[in-house]
Chains A and B, each alone.
Chain A
């Protein structure tokens, strides 16, 4: 009557397909590293850390290329085999992450074999390029935590970039940033009105706002900017060094010698972490995103909370958008955000709807971005178009690999109707 085999320790297991596939992928990567990324045994990859005139100069980091990659492929093969045979459970994602990191590193070592690049410069670029992604992700988090999907993040970035360039040209950089945030906030308000008050499907509303912003900014830039060039010629923010901290080798230039947007993003991430998880209003916001009806019965205004967060999210995205113009060249080009908003949403999922997680994810995407830039300088035989696909492919891998493991807020995508 009973089934002893079942009730004893050896519980029947479903085949862990995710772990098996991940394991197979890692083993495949080990083969890639072994056969495609091999270099002469005597070649050395050099990573520069300090510039000669730095206060505290540190020597270069040199790595024997082939040895590094042998170790990397052994590590990959080990992780892969383990996952394949034993399954990974919760560790699958982590193992996959480590595997991808090892792959990227050995790729970098291979590309630099016999040459030298500046590690500091690369990490600096990583942080800079992570900024719009992190801010987009933060905007996404603020919306999704209250139960609103924000596909319109891309459009808000673009609107911020546009407003930053135009008002920055007219009234100077600071005014440009403020106007970019206001513009982002206005589109946040539009999204909020559509999805909260008029109950338009959240994804449709987001897509339409993206189309609208793309049309509007393209129209103005071809109709107006083409003629009045001075309207699209803002002076960008320069980076400034924080005294003492900025002189620390490696860390200094990467974190403490950056422009306003980098510092702003770091502050916003810290603030929103505190807000969401340690304050009264953060708790209420999360309750609205998880169970709006419960929040309503406790006297929390669901509609107002959602409006406020979506608008603030728009402002954050507007600030992130200004990075594209005021944070780099000061000029607006059509569709210049090129999918960064969507990558931000992937970073949000990767970071499990937590600002710090999203920042970490954004840094990974930023690294992929700057890697691509450096590699095209190093003259690798890989076509630049393929390198520039890397962040997009990485996004797909992340979204596919982690979905289901991370749990989004429960009320996401549903309009709140008071019966």
Chain B
């Protein structure tokens, strides 16, 4: 009795200990957004960056402290990491079960995401101090960054799926605002619209999935959903799996719809088309949103619902294959692109595909849950090296004033630090030991090897391609031909630019040594991960082969790349044109949807809806002009009509109506 009481007190104290500061983590960026968007232009146009950065620094420190507190001090009860509700506010109540809360849920993945988001966001804030300096809408830029950081933090700490959906849409809006930041450029406007519409289209399915899941499990809470829909004996589970629709159970459909929502945000094939275009935004934004945080929201969503996915094999297969196809598909396209940000965009898509299929091949709990841990680990390491790549690319673009590979080359002497960090990040993403990417990719490959050999083979091929295109990019920017004579008076950049690059490079090197399985696993227990030297031979060999090929082709300017791309002929051309996916979409929307749905709809609107209104007006006007002669102005005529009316009424009353 006393023990129970103490236990109860203890967990209560725990929640209390977080609740004193946890809300400041998302609210400080929101404060930055509110202040800068209301007063920024007038009062803080030059100091906006500093204000936002300082507020975010506090957030970052708080989330690091939360991580320390959760992972190392009191997160564990009986050796299992327990989810903690650090804050809870009941917002909308529909009935006694179904209600929408606003809360803060702390568990291993959300705490990990808190750290990733705040750290990367802080680096981007600092980098932007240099990159965006002198922009006319400097304060607006920081306001949008604050809004984005707030929404993303809110998304990962959501206690229920509806709260997550709200922040999910907020993230979409802030991404839209930031992609369209240079709204004077028509291409940026088009890109922001495209990103918004494509992700919004996917979110429609997400919403349907939420409603089905909410209906079936009678709750929106992640905890309750997972509890009811993974318990194979419960009435909810049986009703959700026994009802079928087009050959798949309701639960499978719901999970597939939720996954489509995640795939839209995470730019999975075939909803990836917005991501490469989203590179129209400022480069630091790409580093934050389109590399490290928002695009992994889909992975996070699947991971959040993972126990439910794990009991439903069909949906896991969907996740696996969509992830795998995206990974390979994007890697092939990345080999042929010439815009450095687009190469990085496709590389992001490919790496997120990795995370997705790692979740797909995973099981729940114990050794089978390796894929889950690997996926989260890759998310963690990828956030650092990919944002580093984007920031370094931003530095290069700032130096060259161009995105095209052909304008670059030989920059290693002009930008030594950028060169060094870019090289480190390339090694990491290629999976060369002992950098962080090696460890996470290794785990993913091991998990897929244990489950499905075909997945493993494709993943290995993708891994080699990744090494190839990253080093193609690296050599094309920093080696290849000699640098043209540049106007180098402004040098490489200030401290505000170098500091984030160096810090992220350090994180890229050390992040792999974090014993990730101890902290994050599918069931909260410690997962021992070992390094299998023999197993690593194949991936490392693939990576080195890719690097070697890239060195052979691109280190010095030569004719070989052109010859090889010619020998691939049509395949190269279609990969260069991104396999015509955009054209297919345009064909479907413009030719099919427009002609078969929009045109008839417009016709109905014009002729039937408008026609009814116009017809009514026409009939009224015609009748009134026809009978207006009755109003003659002669009293006796009126009396006659009156008398006639009375006579008719008299006839009716006397003879007919009796």
Answer whether A and B are interacting partners: no
